[in-house]
Structures are given as structure tokens and as C-alpha cells.
Amino acid sequence: MSSADTSSLEIPRRGLMLVLSSPSGAGKSTISRALLAKHDDLTMSVSATTRPMRPGEVEGRDYIFVDTSNFEKMVEEREFLEHAKVFDNYYGTPRGPVEESLQSGKDVLFDVDWQGTQQLRQNARDDLVSIFILPPSIAELESRLYSRAQDSEEVVKGRMSKATSEMSHWAEYDYIIVNQDIGESVMQAEAILKAERLKRERQIGMLDFLRDMGVSQ
């Protein structure tokens, strides 16, 4: 087989569920956007919610908008991989679209907190790869929150108070990235993604590939 043939070889694989969690301001959203921009076979999970659609939002792209009774029915029928009530609204990850993506070899990116990650682990452990993003220091995290100029001082203090509790769950994750340099952190997240895609159990086409070469199991 020529090198050209080898480079184009694609063995069917099952997709994975990539979770990124972090306290606000640690860089999770920036890393997520970079990964999505670089990988066509990585898609963002779309949550269902009972909150009203906001101006500019698109059904199925930003959220799947459902009423409370339908959401509760979906919970009863175990149609969510994870769900939670935030203030007065419900949010959840529908199982069906995620499973379809995984079966087609696409990876699904999740932006959830540690509680959502626990639910995902309970419902889909074999498909889950979890990364927790840490800031290089508490002082740096606070500086980043203030530099964004998006929130009032009261909101920043609230986020800082919550950050310590969130970071205490770091040991529940498969990988840890300390985001001191965003470029380096994106490369680390990519390295994790590439390695996890090569895991033997995700190479669902490997048996046929080896049989074609005359290799028995």
C-alpha cells in the first residue's frame, strides 16, 4: 500500500462524548470554540430547555425549546442523558441526537458542570471523556473575570465564591488542563481528543480491517 493510500485510510469508529468543565473565566468556552473550528467531525451538544426563546436564537441550533409538560414527560421516559433545573427553567441533553452522532463516528462536545458530568458518566460511561479546565491561580481567575467587563463586581464575587466549590471536583475527571496559555491548552485538549479517538474499543471497524488482511482475532 502506498503512503497516499495509507493517509486516506479511514477505519470506522464510534464517536465519543467530550466534556469540558471549568469555573467561569478559566477558558472553557475559548477552548471549545477552537476545537469546534478545527474539527468538522466534532459537534456541539444542543440542549432542550423550557425557557422562552430569546431574540436571535434558532430552534435546534441554540436550544431545542419545549414546554414544561413535554420536558417532564421526556424525563419520565428517560430521554435525557443529563438534566437539571436552573432557577425556574429546565435544561437537558436529549439522548437520541447524541447517540445518532456517536454511531455515525462523530464526536459530541458538552459544556456542562460537574453535576451534569456525573449524570453523563452514569448514563454513558463508555463513551465519555471528561476534561476539567483549571486557572493557573485564583488571582488570575479573578483578573480574567474583571477583564471581560461583562459582569458587575457583585456577579464576579459570586462567580469567585462558586469557583472554589467547582474546582473541588477536579478528581472526578479523566484529564486536567491548567490553562496558563490558551494556545498550549487547546493543543493539550486536541491531544486528548486524538488519543481517545484511537482507543481500541472505539475502532469498531478494526475487526473487518484485520480480517481483510488475513488476521484472525
15 closest CA partner among 79, 110, 155: 110
Q: Is 42 helix (H, G, I), strand (E, B) or coil?
A: strand
Domain for residue 130, yes or no?
Answer: yes
* CATH code for the domain in which residue 206 is found: 3.40.50.300
Q: What is the reported pLDDT for 149?
A: 67
Side chain identity at residue 39, one-letter code: H
Domain for residue 62, yes or no?
Answer: no
24 closest CA partner among 183, 153, 133: 133
Domain range for residue 196?
A: 3-45+106-212
pLDDT tens string, the chain, 217 residues long: the values are 444 455 568 899 999 999 999 998 899 999 999 999 999 999 999 999 999 999 999 999 999 999 999 999 999 999 999 999 988 899 999 999 999 999 999 999 998 999 999 999 999 999 999 999 999 999 999 888 888 766 788 888 888 988 989 999 999 999 999 999 999 999 999 999 999 999 999 999 999 999 999 997 6
Side chain identity at residue 212, one-letter code: D
Question: Computed from CA positions of residues 166, 170, 173, 176, in that sequence, does the dihedral angle turn out positive or negative?
Answer: positive
Domain for residue 217, yes or no?
Answer: no
Domain count, the chain: 1
Domain for residue 61, yes or no?
Answer: no
Q: What is the reported pLDDT for 9?
A: 83
CA 165 from chain centre, in angstroms, equals 20
d(CA 5, CA 140): 48
Q: How far apart are the first and last CA of the chain?
A: 22
Q: Is 9 helix (H, G, I), strand (E, B) or coil?
A: coil
**Strands ordered across the beta sheet of 89-94:** 64-65, 48-49, 89-94, 80-86
Domain for residue 121, yes or no?
Answer: yes
Domain for residue 164, yes or no?
Answer: yes
Domain for residue 170, yes or no?
Answer: yes
175 closest CA partner among 159, 195, 204: 195
Q: What is the reported pLDDT for 2?
A: 44
Domain for residue 63, yes or no?
Answer: no
Burial of residue 190, with CB atoms counted within 10 A of its CB: 0-12 exposed, 13-18 middle, 19 or more buried? middle
pTM of the predicted protein model = 0.88
